Chains A and B, each alone.
Chain A
Amino acid sequence: MEIVFTLNGKQKAIQAEAGENVQVLLKRLGMRAVRNSDDGYGFAGSDTILLDGCSVNASLLIAAQLDGREVVTPESLNEYGKLSPVQSALIDAGVIQSGYNDPALALLITDLFKRSPNPTKAEITDVMSSIFLRESAYQQVFDAVDIARQRLSDPEYVATSVPSFAGENRQVGKPGGKVDAARSIKAEPCFVEDFVAPDACVLKMLRSPHAHAYITRIDTSEAEGMPGVVAVFDHRNCPDVYYTPGGQTAPEPSPLDRRMFGQKVRHYGDRVAAVVAETEEQAEAALKTIKVEYEVLKPVLSIKEAMAEDAPVVHNGVISYSVGAPDDLDEQNKTSDLRDGKIHFNFPFGGDPKKNIAARGHGEIGDIEQGFAEADMILERTYQSRQSQQLPPEQHLCYTYMEGDRIVVRAATQVPWHVRRKIAIVLGLKQHKVHVIKERLGGGFGSKQDILVEEVCAFATHTTGRPVLFRHTREEEFIATSTRHVAEIDIKMGAKKDGTITAFDVNFRFNTGPYGNHALTVPCNAPAISLPLYPCPNVRFKVDTYYSNIVPTGAYQGYGGPKGNFAVQMIVAEMADALGIDHLEMIEKNRVREGQMLDLLGKVGEGKLPSKVPTAYSCALGPILEQGAAGFGWGTPKEEPENPHIKIGRGIATMQQKSGIPDIDQANAWVKLASDGTLIVHSGGADIGTGLDTVVAKLTAEVLCTELADIHVISGDTDHCLFDKGAYASSGTCFSGNAARLAAEDLCSKVLKAAAHLLEEPVEELIVEYPGVVRGSKGSISFGEIAHYAESGTGCGQLMGQGSFITSEFAFPYGANFAEVAVDTRTGKVSLRKFHALLDCGTPINPELALGQIYGASMRAIGHTLQEAIQYDDQGHVVNANFADYGAPMVGDLPEDFQAILVPSDDPVGPYGAKSVSEISVNAAAPAIASAIHDATGVWVRDWHITPEKMLNALKEEVL
């Protein structure tokens, strides 16, 4: 039908099916900002438009409803070469990370100003009720609205709310300058979905309805003959290659236990078959015709079930090793079932698939028995936690096409080089035939460290020669990506009467689900990221990771940290309570201190042990606790609630993380001098919205004394940049940043050498000065003049610096969370009244982005603590695979008083004293909140997430 409507002020007449989804329609009309995060559930607001002046979700409209109406999209805010006051305010306040949902947010706020020029906090909150902000998590939007309000009356208004650090530096530690923010807030082409050709084929996946089953028969013949169908793949015609989805440095410390399609399905939603067709509708229609018969097996749904003597074996395939095979391997393989396929270990790390064990680890320092003998009190506890989902606003997706005999992979990945390697392995190609382009990511949080869509998409293209898009639905995000592991932790702790901790003995049990990606490293990070917060001479730990048939797990921000830290922080809190010592005093007495050797970390590795015992070179935990307690009012009287059934309590927990993986990972960068003296950086780093490209630009500018505007960063492109391990393990600032710093320093020395030649002065007497000038005793010369000389017929050649960063040293960020809760003892509802997150990330290179990282990670952790978890029925089917049912946090879940505070230190390992900032802030919310709940009610809740029902049951048990 013909539909006539007004789109951003211009009349539009189009032909469309009456029932065409308006989000799809507007995308088709070039409105990139009208995005789809939730497949028409009306939750995320990525598809926000104004319809006749009211904000609505485009996905909940059909084309015919637009006839005669006025539609306004976020594109209406765009003016070439300029930012609107709202757009610039969102950038200045630090709201913009990936920018996936932010154009919609800008539209909502702009609309708010039309209704209310001086909006109240309640009005701003009401506007944000429409939008899911998983990354910066709402809080900074209040600042942004205030900045925009002032800028609307004074366009020159400069925001002053973001703190500044690092003294005399021009760029590092100073607010502003996010290099990709303007593009993303204006929805210019930057995400994978923005580059998909109109004639691209679509890949859709048939997924298992069973948690554990063999495929006994599959018939795809009808699908193959359907209109528009290009190819159908299943276990019979895919590469017989085993790999791990985990995007880790090779040789991966994860079992290679994944085949593109297997004869055995190991989780609800596992891959059964893929259809590649010319349209999505054709692909979906073809999927429905595929006939599959299953031999359904008993699913393994918990650690306890996996450990049982008679447990079904999740991976009963043929086991092999690259090195270090056990002597009884042949014996183990006698009971293998060929339908289970194979399982390969690059090297031994404790895996015993016949017992459902994917990986194991252990370590010990001191004398554990002696430690407990010295204790006046010993506590033994078990703590548990559930499976949470990363919820990136942008689903996993990949777009692949051929360029000659090379395959181009446009990917939303955190690990472009690992993607290239794995695609080459799976497809049997050499790596130079694979070009991976990492586009901007609409949120990753670890989930896009795993190769979950890229290899099958690339295979489809390589097999058919056709461009192919594979994009997960939101349901597939819940049932077929990598989520946070389930954990059970037995911990025993000894302490003296004065609170001195004498011993820890910890048994970590993790549930990795159907595949073993990160099965060693996530669980081993549980002790590594928690126990060193309380350096104790006598520590023993054991890690066991079990296979099961829950939906897959893998990397999630914090890695094993949140799980391990919950147990360690909680037992310290319980011990303080048992000894009658103030919790904060107990922490202060036992906490890690600057300069301290962390002996335990010499016993925990990620596939190999550190080459030396790590040292906490910088640690601002002391000032954090002091400043935090004062700001939070730790020692002040608590408010007495009017209702007697409301109980108020306070809690605290500390946290740490790493800044990359020493001795395992590497980052590289080039910086080249363009002909006019400006700079182009080729960084291997993968900016996933966190501001890594800005870190790289600022470090380069700082070293070379140039304007930030004179630097362009190219990153994450395997053809045009050097190798980088990728964005994980909090490595961006320290590894990729240091690589850029080293490259800039290398270029600087070359610039000085060329300048010495031109100025006819010794290099030693020259200095680089702002703005891009070399000064000597006789005169000065600009970078532009030096570049001109270098590129001339008598020059030295274009000047370029290269930096490669590896290290054996650690840079540990530290922090603490203070929480105040109100527990409704009638309903069990826990409300967060106050949440203060203090963080030492060394020098915060991008302060407003660092604050955004803290707010976002804290809010995710709060969500995991109180409301988020994947839930199953007794057959292993996920029963809450959408945002609302899962419990995704929205602005109404924000703590009433929410503060992120940066407390700097100066670290010698990181560039300009910087340490990582992104992951650490998920590590302490759960124990801080659980401690506060105990303070309020006297009940220790040792199993999170803490739903109202779980809380109420805990209260009842306490009474009994």
Chain B
Amino acid sequence: MIREFLQPETLQEALAMKEQHGDQAVYMASGARLNAAPTKTDKTIAISLSRLGLQGIVQTDKGWELGALTTLQQVIDSPELPEGLREAAALIFSRNMRNQITLGGEIAANLKACQVVPALLAMDAEVEVAEGGCMTVEAWQQKPYGLITKVIIPASVDYCRSEKVVKSCAGLPIVSVSLAVNVKDGKQQFGIALAGVAEKAIRLHDVEALLADQELQGREAIEEAVGKSVFPETDFLGSAEYKRHLSSVLVGLLVEEFNGRSN
């Protein structure tokens, strides 16, 4: 249970507090995950980020820069943002939850069935951390470091769509897939990410490379490649075989849909 709730006014204060309290303390954005029963924190000190001014959405040369405490509902309610990002934010079914869950918090929570992270991975989104520097969401996810202050959606994102299959609309996705296309130097770069097939959301770099090199012709080839790249486990949501099948089908559908749009 949280016994102490610290409310720093500056990033420096926040970092100092974390330095002081170490593993006993946790940064708290909105608490949507840290206070929720299935993911409740066992830390005793919360360092609140609410007074650090980590809200706001601006467009820069880099792309869209969203404060880490931007909620998913704020993303949805910002029509100027890329449609694929807004669609991914809407994958969380409950509006109450979308009003509380923050982008930064969701990346930091790094949950198996996180529904917005695959889109961020696929888009090559980056995070900025208070300790200095930027890194991709994927890099952060593999080696969490620092206090996320900002999420950056690259200006190169040209396309992003997400699909999921669920047993019930508010249940965890059996598999969730995002496909993004970045255009850099006139070249299309595919980003494919999935949730539900590993402990964390994953990106399929090998399949992306095959797509970029146009080595996968037709939906069946794409599905086969995806099937060889994911190694899900059986759980109450579905068998490993079914999840692999869904991964293949959903990626195939999204690529087919993108190609249809391009043509």
Residues of A whose CB lies within 8 Å of any CB of B are 1, 17-19, 21, 38-43, 45, 48, 54-57, 59-62, 64-65, 67, 126-127, 129-130, 826-827, 829, 863, 866-868, 871, 879-880, 882-885, 887-893, 947-949, 952
Contacts and interface: CB of A to CB of B under 8 A. Distances in A.
A292 B50 CA distance: 45
Contacts of A826: 249, 253
Contacts of B48: 64-65
A952 B169 contact: no
Nearest to B7: A67
B46 A892 contact: no
Given A42-B36, A61-B35, A885 B246 contact: no
Given A18-B5, A62-B31, A130-B94, A893 B168 contact: yes
Interface residues of B, number: 44
A887 B94 contact: no
Given A17-B3, A43-B94, A826-B253, A56 B100 contact: yes
B226 to A, nearest CB: 13
B171 A885 contact: yes
A127 B235 CA distance: 31
Contacts of A57: 96-97, 100
A62 B5 contact: yes
B73 interface: yes
B218 to A, nearest CB: 15
A130 B96 contact: yes
A45 B94 contact: yes
B253 A887 contact: no
Given A56-B99, A890-B170, A952-B242, A871 B236 contact: yes
Interface string B47-82: 010100000000000000000000101000000000
Contacts of B1: 17, 19
B32 A60 contact: yes
Interface string B1-28: 1111101000000000000000000001
B172 interface: yes
Given A64-B2, A826-B249, A884-B172, 11 more contacts: A38-B37, A55-B99, A57-B100, A61-B31, A130-B94, A867-B167, A867-B168, A883-B170, A885-B172, A888-B170, A893-B168
Given A42-B32, A55-B95, A892-B93, A885 B165 contact: no
Nearest to B219: A826
A60 B95 contact: no
Given A45-B94, A129-B94, A60 B35 contact: yes
Nearest to A893: B169
Interface string B85-104: 00000000111110110000
Contact of A42 (B97, B174, B242, B250): B97
Given A57-B97, A826-B253, A827-B246, A40 B169 contact: no
Contact of A129 (B7, B38, B95): B95
Contacts of B249: 826-827
B37 to A, nearest CB: 4
B238 A949 contact: yes
A690 B232 CA distance: 45
B239 interface: yes
Q: 6 tightest CB-CB pairs across the interface, nearest first? A: A892-B169, A64-B5, A19-B2, A40-B37, A130-B96, A18-B5
B99 A40 contact: no
B184 interface: no
Contacts of B28: 65
B120 to A, nearest CB: 21
Contacts of B245: 952
Given A55-B95, A129-B93, A826-B249, A60 B2 contact: no
Nearest to B252: A826
B170 A60 contact: no
B261 to A, nearest CB: 15
13 contacts: A40-B35, A42-B96, A61-B31, A65-B28, A129-B170, A130-B94, A867-B168, A884-B171, A885-B171, A885-B172, A887-B168, A890-B93, A949-B174
Nearest to A63: B5
Contact of B170 (A17, A64, A866, A884): A884
Interface of B: 1-5, 7, 28, 31-32, 35-38, 40, 46, 48, 50, 71, 73, 93-97, 99-100, 165, 167-172, 174, 235-236, 238-239, 242, 245-246, 249-250, 253
Nearest to B100: A56
B168 A948 contact: no
Contacts of B238: 947-949
A60 B97 CA distance: 9
Contacts of B236: 871, 879-880, 885
A948 B96 contact: no
Contacts of B46: 18-19, 62, 64
Contacts of A59: 35-37
Given A826-B249, A885-B171, A62 B242 contact: no
Nearest to A829: B165
A65 B36 contact: no
A19 B96 contact: no
A410 B32 CA distance: 35
A60 B37 CA distance: 8
Contacts of A130: 94-97
A888 B2 contact: no
Contacts of A868: 168
Contacts of B37: 38-41, 59
- The CB with the most chain B CB atoms within 10 A, among A67, A126, A888, is that of A126
A15 to B, nearest CB: 14
A893 B245 CA distance: 23
Nearest to A863: B168
A890 B93 CA distance: 9
Given A18-B46, A130-B95, A952-B242, A40 B168 contact: no
Given A62-B35, A65-B48, A54 B73 contact: yes
A42 B94 contact: yes
Contacts of A127: 95
- The CB with the most chain A CB atoms within 10 A, among B4, B168, B236, is that of B168
B96 A947 contact: no
A71 to B, nearest CB: 14
A54 B100 CA distance: 8
B191 to A, nearest CB: 22
Contact of A54 (B7, B50, B99, B253): B99
A389 to B, nearest CB: 13
Contacts of B167: 866-867, 887, 947-948
Nearest to A956: B245
B5 A41 contact: no
Contacts of A60: 31-32, 35-36, 100
A67 B7 CA distance: 10
Nearest to B71: A54
Contact of B165 (A39, A126, A827): A827
Given A65-B48, A879-B236, A40 B40 contact: yes
A947 B239 CA distance: 12
Contacts of B31: 60-62, 65
A288 to B, nearest CB: 15
A948 B174 contact: yes
A827 to B, nearest CB: 5
Contacts of B168: 863, 867-868, 884, 887-890, 893
Contacts of A19: 1-3, 5, 46
A362 to B, nearest CB: 37
Contacts of A867: 167-168, 171
A675 B168 CA distance: 56
A41 B94 CA distance: 12
Contacts of B174: 948-949
Contact of B36 (A40, A871, A879): A40
A387 to B, nearest CB: 14
Contact of B169 (A38, A45, A62, A890): A890
B4 A18 contact: yes
Contacts of B50: 65
A927 B3 CA distance: 54
